[in-house]
Amino acid sequence: MASPFTSRAVTRMIGQSRMNVRCQEVEAYRQAIAAINLSIERCTAAVPPDGYYYVLKDGKIEGRFRSLRQAQAKYKELLAASGYQPPAAKPTDLDPAKEAVESYMDQLEAYWTESHRHARRGGKTMYRS
């Protein structure tokens, strides 16, 4: 006869599913666009602690999924339906090539500034006994 205190029985007695136990072992996940209140969440305060991925729109649960890929499909569907376009990036006056050259020159200057500290001192017989 099987013991009534096997892991399955204990899980059922406590009222937790396998997903509840797994939520304690995984990190919380959140991917969101705040401008339209759309997010994918797992193991956060806004969703049940059962280990599933939830797609939320304006705080309302739109879907519950076992895998992130399925949740992202629903997320992209809702994003397309909303018609949201991210704001355009502001153009900068910085030239990427010029930035790379300046960065290289700064590194070179820092190297030569510190190089005198690493000079080897002593003559032929310094490390001989």
Residue 116 lies in a domain: no
Residue 91 lies in a domain: no
Structural domains in the chain (count): 1
Residue 104 lies in a domain: no
Residue 114 lies in a domain: no
**What pLDDT score does 89 carry?**
84
Asked if residue 14 has pLDDT above 70, the reply is: no
Residue 53 lies in a domain: yes
pTM (2 decimals)?
Answer: 0.56
Residue 67 lies in a domain: yes
Burial status of residue 47 (CB atoms within 10 A of its CB: 0-12, 13-18, 19 or more): buried
Residue 89 lies in a domain: no
- Strands, E assignment, 1-129: 29-33, 38-42, 53-57, 60-65
Range of the domain at 33: 9-82
Q: pLDDT exceeding 70 applies to what percent of the chain?
A: 72
